[in-house]
Each structure stands twice: as structure tokens, then as C-alpha cells.
A and B are shown apart, each in its own frame.
Chain A
């Protein structure tokens, strides 16, 4: 049986590759997946591009920047499968959250109000000469950074000039919040819940409140591997598809939570995993919130890699880097997402129904044929 070496970061959105192994879906497709746990996205990228991994769990924007050479390497990658939509939160330090409650006279009621309250706090701090607020994000190129920017704009905050961003690995997020190095962060679970449990922070935004299905993590391969080993890719994708359906099914969540919680995977309490799977989180010391779409693993809108999503990622990345859009790079980005591989493996012949592949809930509508218009509208 062919062995496929797959890298992953210990996060809940690594559920699909883990379930593909643990439930025997991979074996049923005639492949053996060897999962290798990693500590950083930089390791994941380097081991994938230098042939130490055959495939990997990866931040969707990192697959695009690596293919385009916008970061620290340039190797063409192929994304044949999306692993999840949403599952991240924006968490603010207890002190910053209190300051927002003060300007409002009550806790913020929704994401728009929280962003507006933050704007007033930022203006006050600017006036008194205090340093700007720093947000922790998990990687320079991540949907986390994009989510924070969208939320800030909702309150009229300029993400490029009014705040700062700092990369903080998830395991260090709570400590950095507590020490005041950062005052807010965007990260996946269990790290937001950890901040809430320890009284260090309050969750103010669920990623699913910003967009319906922005791509978060994906399955990435070297482009050259996708061409050379079509049989292996087919088998892997079929195993992932079965695993995605299994992971999405609520009846399996208790099992999935125990599976992911094991020491060799995420190494946390099963209850913590289960909370994220069910979308029921404590957002501060006294309140809980529930959102059924908090984290989704399955659906063609999520699993079938839509090139329009890659174009969106490219536009957001270029905007984040304050670079001008470049048509050939936008095309190259679109080619990273490979619905053809997904369709071949799964026998899919349906095209996506949705006009809008991202489903932003605020701000300018995204039109994949008019990236410049989208960016201009964002920059307002």
C-alpha cells in the first residue's frame, strides 16, 4: 500500500486528515497516511516544498503566497481540497474590552458595535498619546489577519495605520495577551477559550460573523506531485471527502472530539474540542454564545477548491502588503486552486451555485472578475 506523508499543525481544523486515518477511510481507498505533527507553518511549508512531506494541512493564503513567491519561497503548489470554513475568533484583552464597555455604557451587542466601540477607544488613546493597539495573528499570510482587517473597517478603523499586527504562535497567544504585548488576537480554538477561562480575554467576534465561507485551511501538494501521482491524489481526495462528511455529522462529534484530543494530535480536553465542534463557547466569564456554523468541514462550497476563492486571497494578500494588483499574479493564484483534481477524484460535475464564493457579511461585495474594484472599495 502506498504511504503518503502528511504534515499537520495540532488544531481542530486538522480533523479531516486525522479522521481519514483513525476511521480507516484512507486504508479503504488503498493508501496509508502517515501523519507528522509540526510546530510551525514555516516548517510545514519548507518540508512540503523540499519533498519531506507528500501533502500537508496548510493555511490557504500560504499556499497562494508560496506559489507566487510573495513570502519566503517560490514553489508552485496545488490545492485540490478545502478543509474547513471558519472556526476562528477575535479575542480582546480584558482591559481593552472594559474600555470598550465604558465608552458604550454597556457590553457591545454585535460585531459592528464592538468595532465602533474599539474605534472610539483608539481615538481616545491617540488623543492622549498612548501607543497603538497590537493584534496577534498566527502568520503574516493567514485568513486570521484578513478577518481582523474586515472587522476593523466595520468600525471605521484603518487597519494599516491605526493598529499594528504581530505574528504570535497560537500556544503563546494567551501569555502575550496577559502580559499586554498584544491587546487582541485572531486565532482558532482552543486558544480563545483558554484566554476566556483564565480571565485574560473576551471573545468579541466569531469568524463566521465576518464571512460565510472564506477558505481557512486547505490540503496542499507540490504541483509537480499532483501531476506525477494522479492515482495517489485521487485516493487521498476520496478519503478526505469521506472524512469531511463524517466530521461534519453531529452524531460523530463526541467520537471526533475524543479522537482529536489525544496526546499525539491536539492534546487537550475532549470537552474543549467538543465546544468548538458544536459552536458553543463561553465568550467571557459570565456569558456563552452559540453559532451552529461556527466551524464547518463539509459541503462543496468548502471542499471543492474554487479558483475565485484563490483570487480573493490574492487580492487580500496584495492589499495587506499594500502592493498593486497584478493581472498575471491574480491568474497564477487562481491556478493554485484545482477543482479539476477534486472533480476527477470525486466524480463531481456540478459547478458552484453561489454567485459569491466568500460570503462576506459586511463591506464591499466581492466580484472575482473585478479585483481592483473590490480593493478600491476596501480602501474606500
Chain B
């Protein structure tokens, strides 16, 4: 089933915008456009004349969109914020996910809700990916520093690899700190004592 509503995504994050576009297209929305160029934003919106605008909350440009409510002559059709204010749970979910939406008047509520739910879900997917990436990067950095600290201990105290590791483990447990923190302290101390 295809949906003819035209959707405009305003997001400077290319990866996230791609993830949202893909989700909307998979759900049958054929008219999806993405704006990453935010100069002259109102003019672009007037030219594109979307039914629905999806914008990320990190963008200061949300305040530019607010002007559309006051200056209706700027846009051909009146635009209101997503759903009626009584649906606070939906709005909260969207805001927690980091997204907001503006909708032209007269669009069916269920249709809009479906689209926003999709965007919220995709924003969450993106956040999870970002988190995973961050965790992977941290884990890699931790492993490197632990290896280095182990090497330092082995040389300085003529320990086997296993004993050096056990020594750091014990220090971490005694001080209730992460192993990587202990390793970082060792590497730093070695740098200063050189």
C-alpha cells in the first residue's frame, strides 16, 4: 500500500536521515524528501509544500518553523503541531526520542500517528546504533590500554603476563574501580616517571 502524503525530513545528521527515509519508504510512503541545507528554510518549505514536516530536536531551526504559525501567508496551508495536545504520551515519546513533527491541518489523525510512530522508532534505532558504536569504541580503547599497562608491569616487576593481569584485577577489585581505569593510571604514571 502506498501513501501519497508528502513528508519532509529536516535533519543535519545524514545517517539518521537515511535511516528514517528508508523506514518511511518501506512503510509505503513514496513522497519523502530530506533537507540538510537549512539556510532559507522557510522558503524551501514553501517551495516543497509538504503535508508533514519531521525535524530533529537538536536543531535550533525548530524556532524558525514556529514562525509558520504566526505568518500563515508564508505558507499556502496552515500548519499545526502533531496531534492534539491531549495526546501528551505520544508527544512525550517523540520528544524523548529526539523528534518533533508539524502537520498541515486536515490530515487524518491515524495516518499522521502512523508516520510519527515510524519516525520515533527510527530515531530510537539510530540512538541505539550510536550507543553501540560508542560502546565498541570504548571497549577497543580499554583493551588497548590494558595491554599496555600489562606490558609496563611485566617489564617493571619482571612478572608473567598472567601475574601482571592478576595484579591489576586485584587493584581494581580492592579500589572498586574499572580495570581500564587502573590500567590508565599505570600508563599515566609510567609516562610521568620516564
Query: Contact flags (1/0) for B53-81 with A, using CB distance below 8 Å?
Result: 00001111111111101110000000011
Q: How far is the CA of A166 from the CA of B70 in the complex (A)?
A: 11
- Given A42-B65, A47-B95, A321-B70, the answer on whether A166 and B42 have CB atoms closer than 8 Å is yes
- 0/1 per residue, A146-188, Cβ < 8 Å to B? 0000000000000000000011111110011001010000000
Checking A40, A49, A50, A52 against B63 with a beta-carbon cut-off of 8 angstroms, the contacting residue is A40
**Is A181 touching B63 in the complex (CB atoms < 8 A)?**
no
A72 x B92 contact (CB < 8 A): no
In the complex the two chains form, is B100's CB within 8 Å of A46's CB?
yes
B59 touches A39 (CB 8 A): yes
Per the CB 8 Å criterion, the residue count for chain B at the interface is 27
Query: Which of chain A's residues 25-56 have a Cβ closer than 8 Å to chain B?
Result: 39-43, 46-47, 49-52
Chain A interfacial residues counted at CB < 8 A: 31
Give the CA-CA distance A243 to B26 in the complex, in Å: 53
Structural contact, B66 and A140, CB atoms closer than 8 A: yes
Report the nearest B residue to A137, measured CB to CB.
B67
CB-based nearest A residue for B93: A50
Given contacts A140-B66, A140-B70, A181-B39, contact A52 B58 (CB under 8 A): no
A-contact bits for B122-163, CB 8 A (1 contact / 0 none)? 000000000000000000000000000000000000000000
A39 contacts B58, C-beta separation under 8 Å: yes
Q: Give the shortest distance, in Å, between A154 (CB) and chain B (any CB).
A: 24
Known contacts A73-B85, A140-B69: A42-B63 contact under CB 8 Å: yes
In Å, the complex CA distance between A46 and B99 comes to 12
Partner of B66, one of A39, A139, A170, A179: A139
* Residues of chain A contacted by B66 (CB below 8 angstroms): 41-42, 71-72, 139-140, 167
User: In the complex, are the beta carbons of A72 and B39 less than 8 A apart?
Assistant: no
A-B pair count, CB < 8 Å, reads: 76
Instruction: Give residues of chain A (62-93) contacting chain B, Cβ–Cβ below 8 Å.
Output: 71-75
Tell me which of B85, B88, B92 has the highest count of chain A C-beta atoms within 10 A of its own C-beta. Answer: B85
- On whether A171 and B95 interact (CB within 8 A), knowing A72-B66, A74-B85, A179-B39, the answer reads no
CA A321 to CA B70, docked complex, whole Å: 7
Smallest CB–CB gap between A214 and chain B, Å? 20
Interface of A is mostly: loop
Q: Are A43 and B96 in contact (CB under 8 A)?
A: no
Q: Which residues of A contact B88 (CB under 8 A)?
A: 50-51
Whether the pair B69, A167 counts as a contact (CB closer than 8 A) is: no
Say yes or no: A169 contacts B40, CB within 8 Å: no
Q: Judge whether A39 and B64 touch: CB under 8 Å.
A: no
With known contacts A39-B57, A75-B85, A166–B67 Cβ distance under 8 A: yes
In chain A, residues 341-371, which have Cβ atoms closer than 8 Å to a Cβ of chain B? none
Tell me, yes or no, whether A138 is within 8 Å of chain B by CB.
yes
Q: Which of B40, B81, B95 contacts A72 (CB 8 A)?
A: B81
Given A40-B62, A73-B81, A52-B92 contact (CB < 8 Å): yes
Which residues of chain B are within 8 angstroms of A166 by Cβ–Cβ distance? 42, 67
Q: Is the C-beta of B91 less than 8 angstroms from some C-beta in chain A?
A: yes
Residues of B within 8 A of A321 (CB): 70
CB-based contact A52/B85 at 8 Å: no
Residues of B within 8 A of A140 (CB): 66-67, 69-71
Pair A50/B91 contact, Cβ less than 8 Å: yes
A77-115: CB near B (< 8 Å → 1, else 0) gives 000000000000000000000000000000000000000
Given contacts A40-B57, A74-B85, A169-B63, 10 further A-B contacts (CB under 8 A): A39-B62, A40-B63, A41-B63, A50-B88, A51-B92, A72-B66, A73-B85, A166-B42, A179-B39, A181-B39
27 contacts across the A-B interface (CB closer than 8 A): A39-B57, A40-B57, A40-B62, A42-B62, A42-B65, A42-B66, A43-B62, A43-B95, A46-B91, A46-B95, A47-B95, A50-B91, A50-B92, A50-B95, A71-B70, A72-B81, A73-B85, A138-B63, A140-B69, A140-B70, A167-B64, A169-B61, A169-B64, A171-B60, A172-B60, A179-B39, A181-B40
